[in-house]
Amino acid sequence: MKTCLHGFRRVKDVTQFNGRTKICYGENAINSLEKLKGRHAFIVTDSFMVKVGFADRIISGLERANISHTLFDKVEPDPSLETVRQGTVQLLSDGADLIVALGGGSAIDAAKAMMYFAYKADPAKGKAQLVVIPTTSGTGSEVTAVTVVTDTAAQLKIPLIDEMIVPDIAVLDARFTRSVPPSVTAATGMDVLTHALEAFVSTKANAFTDLHALHAIKYVFRYLLRCYRNGDDMEARQNMLLASCMAGMAFNNSGLGVAHSIAHTLGGLFHVPHGKANAVMLPYVIRFNSFDVRDRYRTIARKLELPCDTVEQGNESLIEAVRWLNSQMGIPNRIRDLGIKEDDFQTGIETMAGHAMDDACTTTNPRRPSKRDIRQLLRQAY
Ligand SMILES: NC(=O)c1ccc[n+]([C@@H]2O[C@H](COP(=O)([O-])OP(=O)(O)OC[C@H]3O[C@@H](n4cnc5c(N)ncnc54)[C@H](O)[C@@H]3O)[C@@H](O)[C@H]2O)c1
Ligand SMILES: [Fe+2]
């Protein structure tokens, strides 16, 4: 995976936590749109959001704030460079001073990339305000400086990281997540867990990222299965949305780890949904890291009230708990059960190991892997 790192300037011996996004949440969080200041909004979403009337709900809020709009509803899952190009061209000619992203990580990431490229193309117009309304509880993209765009020809997911694309406002209204089908609830929820777990053991973890990560982990174990089993359980939906956002705040500051590096390449090469790829890899990566993280996994196990008399028991308990959560939601233990044929997997293994080594997430993994380690992890997980 190509890596494009901009914007983060780290000063030696200074630890930072940046939580710049204003977060509006609660039962009627969407009403906060009426307070927006702006002239013209460019709404970035997908056709499903239009079909089920969610986009109309946003448009009504904007109209009440006297803000006109243009609708771009062509975002596909894992947005392509071509979609981002089309949106950027339209955004540049539209003259919007507000960008509203409505959807899962794909719509949000597309909007962030469009904003970035429009600004780079014409900085004189200034940066539009970015308002984000997530409809999945997964990526945390509503508070991160990350956008992931897919180069379909090269089968590569390209992350762009820049503080400029951190959203200004995130609106967390769980009613937009009620329609998420169980399989997407499961995959996106396991993405939240992977963000939080990888942030907690990252080489850049700090007191503030720990706080957000631990809270998110606790909430995932408490509320994800409830969302999966009953999508209308709004208490669980709201708390998963909070968990997703908190995990996003954690990893935005700490970085992630090797589960993500491998999930990115599995997504790019074999189109495995991002959260599902993370869910399958997570137990293998916990075991791979366990020698190097001292008692960090045991701390999590203790928080979850799992058996953890020794560090080793804590590590094993956590692995078992993740496997159990996966099994309850029909997520397999092995890559082979994700529908990837053995021949294709073996052919792709060298490419995947290369992409995972180059991935920015690998740099903050607590155990620095070699290419051979990644190959081995992939083989074990297959
Ligand atoms: N920017 C970041 O920080 C970051 C972090 C992790 C992942 N990502 C990226 O985000 C993307 C994945 O995002 P995602 O997991 O949210 O999925 P997604 O946005 O790709 O959506 C998955 C599917 O669910 C549907 N969907 C979304 N909301 C729905 C709702 N409320 N009801 C019914 N269906 C709904 C979408 O239409 C789509 O078909 C990937 O491209 C991944 O690489 C970004
Ligand atoms: Fe993720």
Asked if residue 253 and residue 104 are part of one domain, the reply reads no
Q: Which CATH number belongs to the domain containing residue 92 in this structure?
A: 3.40.50.1970
- Determine the Cα–Cα distance for residues 378 and 264; give it in Å rounded to an integer: 13
Asked if residue 151 and residue 32 are part of one domain, the reply reads yes
- Determine the Cα–Cα distance for residues 353 and 265; give it in Å rounded to an integer: 8
Residue 8 lies in a domain: no
Asked if residue 287 and residue 156 are part of one domain, the reply reads no
Q: Which CATH number belongs to the domain containing residue 213 in this structure?
A: 1.20.1090.10
- pLDDT single digits (tens) 100-133: 999 999 999 999 999 999 999 999 989 999 999 9
- Residue 10: its pLDDT value, please? 54
Residue range(s) defining the domain that contains residue 200:
182-381
Residue 10 lies in a domain: no
Asked if residue 261 and residue 371 are part of one domain, the reply reads yes
- Determine the Cα–Cα distance for residues 158 and 256; give it in Å rounded to an integer: 16
Asked if residue 309 and residue 165 are part of one domain, the reply reads no
- Determine the Cα–Cα distance for residues 200 and 50; give it in Å rounded to an integer: 37
Ligand 1 in contact with 185 (CB < 6 A)? no
Residue 151 lies in a domain: yes
- pLDDT single digits (tens) 10-65: 556 788 899 999 999 999 999 999 999 999 999 999 999 999 999 999 999 999 99
Closest ligand to the CA of 103 = 1
**Which residues line ion ligand 2, judged by CB < 5 Å?**
191
- Final residue in a domain of this structure, among 127, 153, 177: 177
Residue 4 lies in a domain: no
Number of domains in the chain: 2
Asked if residue 146 and residue 213 are part of one domain, the reply reads no
Ligand 1 in contact with 290 (CB < 6 A)? no
Ligand 1 in contact with 278 (CB < 6 A)? no
What is this structure's pTM? 0.94
Return the ligand 1 atom nearest residue 178 CA. 31
Asked if residue 186 and residue 172 are part of one domain, the reply reads no
Residue 13 lies in a domain: no
Beta-carbon-side half-sphere exposure of residue 205 (alpha carbons within 13 Å): 21
Asked if residue 169 and residue 62 are part of one domain, the reply reads yes
- pLDDT single digits (tens) 329-369: 999 999 999 999 999 999 999 999 999 999 999 999 999 99
- Final residue in a domain of this structure, among 177, 197, 229: 177
- Determine the Cα–Cα distance for residues 67 and 41; give it in Å rounded to an integer: 7
- Final residue in a domain of this structure, among 149, 177, 205: 177
Closest ligand to the CA of 273 = 1
Whether the CB-CB separation of 52 and 135 falls below 8 Å is answered with no
Residue 11 lies in a domain: no
Helix axes 371-381, 274-289, angle to 10 degrees: 120
- Residue 294: its pLDDT value, please? 85
Confidence of residue 95 (pLDDT cuts 50, 70, 90): confident
Average pLDDT, the chain: 94
Ligand 2 centroid to residue 321 C-alpha, Å? 19
Asked if residue 295 and residue 149 are part of one domain, the reply reads no
